[in-house]
Amino acid sequence: MDRKEFIKTCGFACVGGVALATFLQSCASTNYFAQNSIANNKVTIKKTEFVKIENGKSIPRKYVLYKSEQLNFPICIYKISEDNYSALLMECSHKGCELQSNGDYLVCPCHGSEFSNKGIVQNPPAEENLKSFKVTTDHENIYIQL
Ligand code: FES
């Protein structure tokens, strides 16, 4: 390998490493499964789960995930406002693929359907809205009725 090839190879390795690190970091920060407790099919999640502390700063989370053994798909819980949350089953209403959260909306990796943070179809081929769960709140917690 001559000098030019070596530098080219190192450049590609460096760019690849940075891209991989960025990708892994974004995965870690977007797929946060909230601490929770469950009793009588009611899941309790503290509102503080919607804030992460990074380098001493509070950074709001738009959503957290919850996974139950009794459901085949996770639930995505969006914070709409301080006392308004939505809890959406991450099963595409088109053909049942698992959705991915993409900030303020959910997207299906199979055929590209998109759903709002309230579970409403934004882009086809899906025609039905997502299954949602009743959410109530108090000053400290949110409660999801399964
Ligand atoms: S299964 Fe989601 S768009 Fe087809």
Note the pLDDT of residue 16: 46
Atom of ligand 1 nearest to the CA of 112: 3
Residues 128, 120: Cα–Cα separation, whole Å: 8
- Cβ of residue 121 lying under 6 Å from some atom of ligand 1: no
Q: Which amino acid is at 26?
A: S
* Residue 108 pLDDT: 98
The strand order across the sheet containing 105-107 reads: 100-102, 105-107, 114-116, 121-123
pLDDT for res 8: 58
Beta carbon of 111 within 6 Å of any ligand 1 atom: yes
Q: CA separation (Å) from 28 to 20, 86, 108, 128?
A: 12, 22, 19, 30
| pLDDT bracket for residue 47 (50, 70, 90) | very high
- Is the distance from the beta carbon of residue 92 to the nearest atom of ligand 1 less than 6 Å? yes
Q: Tokens in use for 56? A: 């001493």
Count of C-beta atoms within a 10 Å radius of residue 15: 10
Give the model's pLDDT for residue 37: 82
Among positive and negative, which fits the CA dihedral 40, 37, 105, 60?
positive
Among 6-15, 46-55, 67-76, 121-130, the minimum mean pLDDT is found in 6-15
Query: Which residue has better confidence, 92 or 39?
Result: 92
Over 50: is that where the pLDDT of 39 sits?
Answer: yes
Instruction: Give residue 49 CA to ligand 1 midpoint distance, Å.
Output: 30
> Per-residue confidence at 34, pLDDT binned at 50, 70, 90?
confident
> Residue 70: what pLDDT?
86
SS3 81: strand
Centre of ligand 1 to C-alpha 1, Å, is 47
In this predicted structure, what is the pLDDT of residue 144? Answer: 95
23: pLDDT confidence band, cut at 50, 70 and 90?
A: very low
Per-residue model confidence (pLDDT) at position 113:
98
Averaged pLDDT, 38-61: 91
